[in-house]
Structures are given as C-alpha cells and as structure tokens.
Amino acid sequence: MLGIAEELKYIKGVKDEIRKELTAPSDWLVREMAQRVHSARRIRAQILDSFRLIVTEAIQSYIADRINEILDKAIKTVEVKEHDHQSDENDTAEAENSNDIVTTQEEIEALYIVRAICASLINSDRIMEKDTKKYCNITLDGEPRKSFLRLHFNFVRKKKIAVFDQNEPEVIPVTAPSDLYQYKERIRKALNLKLEPSRGSEQNNQGSTSEIENSNDVFTIQQETEVQLVLQHIRGSGSEGAAIGELLQVLSGKTRPQIQRMLNQLQASGRIHMKGKARGARWHLVKRQR
C-alpha cells in the first residue's frame, strides 16, 4: 500500500505527463492513435508526421466540446434556479387570475404518478398541483414555497422536468409522464426536503392511501397510480357513483376482470362500497368519520 504522500507524488507526476501529452503529443501517443484509427498495417514516418497535427487538433476539439457541455449544463441550471426564485406571489396570482391556464391530461397523470411514488411517505392528498402558463408545479399542501417538482409539459416535443432535490435543480428531458418512475428516488428526496420535522406523526395517521410495501418495485407504484385514477373518477362521479364500464375507459389497458379484482380489494379495505347488483352496480367512496 502506498502512503498518502507517495500517492500524491505519483498523482502529480501523472498529471504533469498528461498535461505534456495534451499540449504537445509525443511520438508514442501519435503512433498509438494512428495504429488505432488508420487502416494501414504499418505506421510509417510519413503517416506519423501527418497524424501529429491530426492528434493535436483532435485533443483541442475534444477539450472544447467538454467545456461547451459543462457550460450548457451550467446555463440550464441557472435558468431553472432563476425560475425557482421568482416571486411565489406572482405564480399564485397568475394561477388564480388567468383564464388561459389549462391543466393538461398529462399534467394530471403526472400528479397521480407522483402521489403514487410518494404514497409511502405522506398522505397522497397533501401532494397538489399549482399550474401556471409556463409550467406546472407539484407542491406539498398546495404551497408555492413547497414546490418539489416542476413539469414543463406545455411543449409537446420538448417536455422536461426539474426535481428540486438539490440547490441547483437539473433540467431533465422526458417523453411522457411515465418517465417520472425513472426518477422516483430523487422525487422522494425532494419531497423529504419540504416536509416538516414532525412529519412522522402525519405518516401514522394516514388513512386514504395504502402504503406501498416495496417502494423499489415500479410495478407496485404503477398499481397505486391506477388505484388513484379509479378513486379520483369515483369521487368525481358524486352521488351517482361510477359503473365498471366507465372505469374500463379510465384504465383502457385493463380488462373487466382486472378492474373487478381491484374494486373488490378496495371494497375489502373499506375505501369504496357497491350499490346495486350485477351489471347495474355502481361504486361509491366510503364516507369516513372525522
């Protein structure tokens, strides 16, 4: 094992050699690169001389590309940070006063997915959306200052999200709301940063959302998302209730037996109940005592 001083000595030596190669490539490096990319079986002096300039230009081009990548990322980060530090009052006023704001189906779907992802942390009803003309915030308790995820879904071909799990949130390109599952750990971390220290007592009192037994199982999270969609539709049906045929349209990828099994599970857990019989039956939410 090398000592710390000896290791630092060798690191400095290697860095000096790398600097020399990047500044003025040695014959060894030029020959090595030529052997890797040139079609000739034998690298002669003429090829070596012509490749010296090629290797030098390639090194400079690569360094410039890396610098541009870092700058682009930094610029995007600054843009997100500036948006995040805009006046919360302006966001709220825009959301309340503008008639041009339309919450899209994809934003609603994203909200349900986030609720499912975070169902093991808090009561999912506390996760709300705050829509504006430019973007849609996912917030804790509907408070702009507690936004932990931002959806930029207004442009069909350039969807992106920003997860506020660090001081300088990163803009992440996405193609559909389902891509949020790929960032579930970051989303949970961002929510945790917004939670009060006393959130433990809130978790003990959860009632309307079942906890996810395995938070790392994406399929389980997707099931919880489907449950949220079903409950939302039943809630929106009011006193009339919802028929299984309507729920087949809500979850178009599910069969009647699959939805019936989900309804039976929700009924067994005391969250919904059925009125009527056979095909005329309609499902209602169970009214909880407060």
The answer on pLDDT for 13 being more than 50 is yes
Q: Hey, what amino acid is at 75?
A: I
pLDDT in tens, 190-223: 999 888 644 544 444 444 333 333 434 343 456 6
Q: How far apart are CA 167 and CA 270, in angstroms?
A: 42
* Topology of the domain comprising 218-285: Arc Repressor Mutant, subunit A (1.10.10)
280 burial type by CB count under 10 A (0-12 exposed, 13-18 middle, 19+ buried): exposed
Please give the average per-residue pLDDT across 140-148, as a whole number: 88
Q: How far apart are CA 251 and CA 224, in angstroms?
A: 13
Greater model confidence, 142 or 156: 142
Per-domain residue ranges for the chain? 4-83, 105-198, 218-285
| Side-chain half-sphere exposure of 120, counting CA atoms within 13 A | 14
Q: Which residue has the tokens 């949130």?
A: 169
pLDDT in tens, 148-169: 999 998 776 788 999 998 777 7
pLDDT on residue 256:
83
Q: Is 180 helix (H, G, I), strand (E, B) or coil?
A: helix
Least confident of 16-25, 37-46, 64-73, 124-133: 64-73
The answer on pLDDT for 138 being more than 90 is yes
Query: What are the tokens at 268?
Result: 């067994």
End-to-end CA distance of the chain: 66
Local structure of residue 1 (DSSP, 8 states): -
